[in-house]
Amino acid sequence: MPHTTLSASGYDVRPLSDAEREQYAKDLSAEERQVILHQGTERPFCGTLLNNKQSGIYACRLCGLPLYKADAKFESGTGWPSFYQPLDPQHITEIVDRSHGMVRTEIRCARCDAHLGHVFNDGPPPTHQRHCLNSISLQFYATGVEPEQKTAK
């Protein structure tokens, strides 16, 4: 049995190999690849999950790791789905991003390294954070539906 590293919420967060990541990405569209694998950004107000109000979880489109609960979503007015906290902090990796003439914090999936968006310190209480995400990086699962987990072999 391979060694697993479980997050506090019970999910396997072992990093995927480059080959596994590429295998899971083989069916992504060109736009999905640009955003998820090459740190692109979808246009504001165009994402399919922006106005989603259903109860459930938002998982990584590439590997299925649950990232955000719907009850942490809020309307930021920015044009991208925004959340004030992740489902489990161990599911998110933060990277300082100095591109575009500013300093901001990029967020990626801890398991597959998929680009999710950025986190800012201008969100609502209790965290005052705004996790500003690309809809294209996420897959929504209604309450009672568990995403398929694509883990390291």
Residues 6+ apart with CB under 8 A from 50: 79, 80, 81, 135
Residues 6+ apart with CB under 8 A from 15: 110, 111, 112, 113, 152
Cβ atoms of 106 and 97 within 8 Å: the answer is yes
Tell me the pLDDT tens digit for each residue of 52-62. Answer: 999 999 999 99
Residues 6+ apart with CB under 8 A from 73: 52, 58, 81, 82, 83
Catalytic sites, residue numbers: 132
Query: For the structural domain made of 18-142, what CATH number should be given?
Result: 2.170.150.20
How much is the pTM?
0.92
Tell me the pLDDT tens digit for each residue of 105-143. Answer: 999 999 999 999 999 999 999 999 999 999 999 999 999
pLDDT above 70: percentage of residues in the chain:
97
In three-state secondary structure terms, 108 is: strand
DSSP string, 116-141: EEEEES---TTTT-EEEE-GGGEEEE
Return the percent helix, strand and coil in the chain, to nearest 5.
20, 25, 55
At 134, the amino acid letter reads N
